[in-house]
Structure 1
Amino acid sequence: MSTQTSPQKESVLQKHDNDVVIVSAVRSAITKGRKGGFKDTKPELILAHVLRAAYTKADVDPTLIEDVAVGNCLLPGAGAGHARVAAIHAGIPIDASVNTVNRQCSSGLSAINQIANQIRVGQIDIGIGAGVESMTFGGFGSGGKASYSEEAMATQDAKDCLIPMGITSENVASDYGLSRQVQDEFAAKSFQKAAAAAKAGKFRDEIVPMKVKSVDAKTGEITEIVVAEDDGIRDGVTVESLSKLKPAFTKDGSTHAGNASQVSDGAAAVLLARRSVALRLGLPIIGKFVAAATVGVPPRIMGVGPAYAIPRVLALTSLSLSDVDFYEINEAFASQAIFSVQHLGIPFEKVNVNGGAIAMGHPLGCTGARQVATGLSVAKQTGGKVFVTSMCIGSGMGMAAVFVSEQ
């Protein structure tokens, strides 16, 4: 991690009473969709567990929580009813309001950004930005296709919004000359880093263990299990083992099940407060939200979003790429993650220190919040202070945010 501190970085590290600070950041384990630890657990229950953990871990009186924003992509009505049910079940009083946010893969980060901005302008003092996705129960791959008017689809960019995500990965690989070998090398490292981190217990502090019911597919027997570890992480993955997998989207393509993010279930929550309020109440302060930014990119290569969102948020904070100690860049596909890192010139060793979504999984609405919990863990483990989270977004967008660890 960088030991030099520029004037711009020093400015970001300073503490002010009106800062938006992070009181706690937690997540569930990330499990395989349809067959992992949460295959029989509805999303509102996973979310309720992390919402409760977000305030109990920091010993926050739930009556002080004024608003909860939940990122979600797949549930009917963007999950508004599910989020409200989860908040009530989590013990958050009914006079706390709830809403859901759907900016696809950045929904969890958008929820955090919303709560942070509400605190910043004085609408609330304490709130939770969260994200949840059950790709098992969320209708992923099972719902009917949306229909669009011919007039709206008259332009090519509008048509390109409907390109399957896997094909956009192939487009990025083709347009920017990213070989399968390069993608598989990146994916193998993601698995290797995540497996090593899991073995060393580096995810333990950020994961909320959950006792849930599991149904045996053959016998129908219901048992209780504790889900406390990411079950998509595989040990021993190598470039050679990945080379045996067939392309998933085109016959001669380079994107396959081993170098793309997994279909997953999970939730995460970040409890935010105004610094002066947190200090008055004696709450723990583990980090600070600094800024966030979004950007649009061509839909046919939607995965390049981080390459353009990261410079935008750094410009807002006057930080340089080298001022950032490490990056959490979502690995929707190896192709887009590699392009984004190479395009910006970020050293790969600064990216996804404990692995990313290729190894851990990508519950769509959850990941933006999950990366904040993971980023704070990485900061504590490495001594890093300033980190950036970023992700590409379906239909052609990117989002990035700057955080500071104060642990």
Structure 2
Amino acid sequence: MKQVQEAYIVAATRTPIGRSHRGYFRNTRPDDLLATALRAALAQVPGLDPKAIEDVICGCAIPEAQQGLNVARIGAVLAGLPKSVGGITVNRFCASGLSAVQMAADRIRVGEADVMIAAGTESMSMVPMMGNSPSLSPTIFTNPDDIESYGIAYGMGLTAEKVAQQWKVSRDAQDEFAYQSHMKAIAAMKAGEFASEITPVEVAERSVNLESAEVTVNTRTVNLDEGARPDTTVEGLSKLRTVFSARGSVTAGNSSQTSDGAGALILASEAAVKRFGLKPLARFVSYASRGVPPHIMGIGPIEAIPAALRYAGLNQNDIDWIELNEAFAAQSLAVINTLGLDASKVNPMGGAIALGHPLGATGAIRSATVIHALQRKNLKYGMVTMCVGMGQGAAGIFERV
């Protein structure tokens, strides 16, 4: 049996994130988005023999319909990977992509693989949040105590309202947080900060002339996330009506955007790095997932972050860059305030409120963000963390090398 070894990220990329239903990728299949990300990741390591890849692990939160039937394997085949490369789809809802990275790293760390791909893909345009035909246990409708044990049935927005109430996060604070998310994202785009992590995608749009029956195909290349709005103001956000509770504080403006996108990372052992002449971008350091009460699922990172730090042998102040997925402003602020996170290190380029949250892809996407940010800013440690539907939290730590 091989000894425990380090897992290095040697490639990391993602597609732009499109708004669901009416955005860039409304007609683009999630398996095609995944294939695009996989090909782009491979292009970053021209010296790597694709036959050395052991497996593709892909996160997807609603793995059915266009992203069903083991989308990991389908994406690998569409990307032209050797047929010897396997594929498995994993689901930890919003942490699916990050769990894929953890699982790929662990295969390498225990000596069972030398090269792995971790990815995530999600089309919220094509597959609705609860799937096309959700079927929940009828028990939750007969036992009131069980309703809260199903975070999704209870409603993500209502869990955010619970967090806002219990952690005393005001509407004003939520709207200000949302505004800053947009402003940071716009500033980062103008500065070209996303260029190193994003793979441009060519999108085809078809139109039909009903008189001539001719089909016209127009193509365009998209290379930036679609959700950030430069005209966002706190005043405008404050006028939005609450969505989930008449007397609540959670609105569409201070919640994450439903989105489409994909991301992919290639991980390798030290032996593979030397064999193929690869240049590591980062080392996978640690990962932790924890469960929390489903009706306040947004606080998941409060439990997961300290555990990931403990496994890494690090203190909170050691982390230079934190990608905290902004499912809702309420839960983001509850996490930041409770743990005492340095706000200047949290989502310096904006978060899901501005950039979007394609569920199972987000963990892989935000991992690409933090890995390239560490390189670009010459920082040492970065973290990706998020809350998870039905009451979980996850956190992963990376070290620039």
What TM-score bracket applies, with the shorter chain setting the length? over 0.9
Q: Report the Cα offset of residue 117 of structure 1.
A: 0.6
Q: Report the Cα offset of residue 201 of structure 1.
A: 0.8
Residue 259 (str. 1) matches residue 254 (str. 2): yes
The corresponding residue for 1:349 is 344
Distance verdict in 2 for CA 1:142–1:285, change over 3 Å: closer
Task: Show the 5 A alignment for 1:207-356.
Answer: 207-215=198-206, 221-356=216-351
The corresponding residue for 1:28 is 15
Residue 184 (str. 1) matches residue 175 (str. 2): yes
**Residues in 2 aligned to 1:217 and 1:248: alpha-carbon distance in whole angstroms:** 37
CA RMSD of aligned residues (A): 2.0
Q: Deviations along 1:156-184, whole A, 9 cap, x unmatched?
A: 25643121101101110011111000011
- Give ranges in structure 1 of 5+ residues lacking alignment: 1-15
**Residues in 1 aligned to 2:371 and 2:20: alpha-carbon distance in whole angstroms:** 26
Q: Deviations along 1:213-269, whole A, 9 cap, x unmatched?
A: 124599875321212111111113221121121111112221111111001000000
Q: Which amino acid aligns with 1:398?
A: G
The corresponding residue for 1:87 is 76
Contact 1:133–1:363, Cα closer than 8 Å, also in 2: yes
Contact 2:186–2:229, Cα closer than 8 Å, also in 1: yes
Contact 1:17–1:276, Cα closer than 8 Å, also in 2: no
TM-score, normalising length from structure 2?
Answer: 0.93
**Residues in 2 aligned to 1:119 and 1:110: alpha-carbon distance in whole angstroms:** 14
Distance verdict in 2 for CA 1:287–1:152, change over 3 Å: farther
Task: Show the 5 A alignment for 1:40-119.
Answer: 40-59=27-46, 60-76=48-64, 79-119=68-108
The corresponding residue for 2:154 is 163
Distance verdict in 2 for CA 1:118–1:152, change over 3 Å: farther
Q: Deviations along 1:102-142, whole A, 9 cap, x unmatched?
A: 00000000011111111111111101010000001123366
Contact 2:5–2:110, Cα closer than 8 Å, also in 1: no
Q: Report the Cα offset of residue 188 of structure 1.
A: 0.7
Q: Report the Cα offset of residue 152 of structure 1.
A: 10
The corresponding residue for 1:126 is 115
Q: Which amino acid aligns with 2:259?
A: S
Q: Report the Cα offset of residue 151 of structure 1.
A: 8.1
The corresponding residue for 1:194 is 185
The corresponding residue for 1:6 is none
**Residues in 2 aligned to 1:257 and 1:386: alpha-carbon distance in whole angstroms:** 32
Q: Report the Cα offset of residue 382 of structure 1.
A: 2.2
**Residues in 2 aligned to 1:387 and 1:181: alpha-carbon distance in whole angstroms:** 29
Distance verdict in 2 for CA 1:172–1:330, change over 3 Å: same
The corresponding residue for 1:7 is none
Q: Report the Cα offset of residue 301 of structure 1.
A: 0.4
Distance verdict in 2 for CA 1:300–1:216, change over 3 Å: farther
**Residues in 1 aligned to 2:351 and 2:290: alpha-carbon distance in whole angstroms:** 22
Residue 400 (str. 1) matches residue 371 (str. 2): no
Distance verdict in 2 for CA 1:354–1:222, change over 3 Å: same
Contact 2:139–2:146, Cα closer than 8 Å, also in 1: no
**Residues in 2 aligned to 1:189 and 1:289: alpha-carbon distance in whole angstroms:** 30
**Residues in 1 aligned to 2:55 and 2:315: alpha-carbon distance in whole angstroms:** 33
| 186-195 vs 74-83, which moves further | 74-83
Distance verdict in 2 for CA 1:157–1:345, change over 3 Å: farther
Distance verdict in 2 for CA 1:99–1:175, change over 3 Å: same
- Give ranges in structure 2 of 5+ residues lacking alignment: none
**Residues in 1 aligned to 2:166 and 2:105: alpha-carbon distance in whole angstroms:** 37
Q: Which amino acid aligns with 1:239?
A: V
TM-score, normalising length from structure 1?
Answer: 0.92
Q: Which amino acid aligns with 1:30?
A: I
The corresponding residue for 1:8 is none
Contact 1:108–1:130, Cα closer than 8 Å, also in 2: yes
Q: Which amino acid aligns with 1:174?
A: Q
**Residues in 2 aligned to 1:150 and 1:234: alpha-carbon distance in whole angstroms:** 42
- How many residues of Structure 1 are paired with residues of Structure 2 in the alignment? 391
Percentage of matched positions with identical amino acids: 41
Q: Report the Cα offset of residue 362 of structure 1.
A: 0.1
Q: Deviations along 1:9-32, whole A, 9 cap, x unmatched?
A: xxxxxxx99210000100000000
